Amino acid sequence: MAKVTYIQSDGTSRTCVNFEGMTLMHLAVGNLVDGIDALCGGMMQCATCHCYIDPDWIDRVGEAPEAERAMLEGINGVEVRTNSRLSCQVQLGEELDGLVVHIPADQPGI
């Protein structure tokens, strides 16, 4: 079990608790967190689950692997940073208890 705090671009935040086997995207969608649309359902096809891992957590979460980064960089409207991740590709476990994630003001195509 891990608590994750999602911070919106306006500074408001929600903290959610995951169940075993969830991704960062599933936790957000299941709790109706704004800004994680996940239109492809986690198939790494849409980038509407893009988020920024808090800089204090990026070493533990890990930067985006090459294929994920290339996908993000190929989509218009995504401001890719070193801490950019597709939330559908981040598996949650107890080691990420307390994780903080920032949600972009806009998602591509929305």
**Binding site residues, ligand FES, CB under 6 A:** 25, 38-40, 42-49, 86, 88
Residues 100, 57 contacting (CB under 8 angstroms): yes
Nearest to 86, CA basis, from 101, 68, 110, 74: 68
| SS3 state of residue 87 | helix
Q: How far is the CB of 37 from ligand FES (least distance, A)?
A: 8
Q: How far is the CB of 13 from ligand FES (least distance, A)?
A: 21
Q: How far is the CB of 2 from ligand FES (least distance, A)?
A: 19
Nearest to 80, CA basis, from 56, 104, 97, 57: 104
Residue nearest to ligand FES (CB): 88
**Residue (11 or 43) nearer to ligand FES, CB:** 43
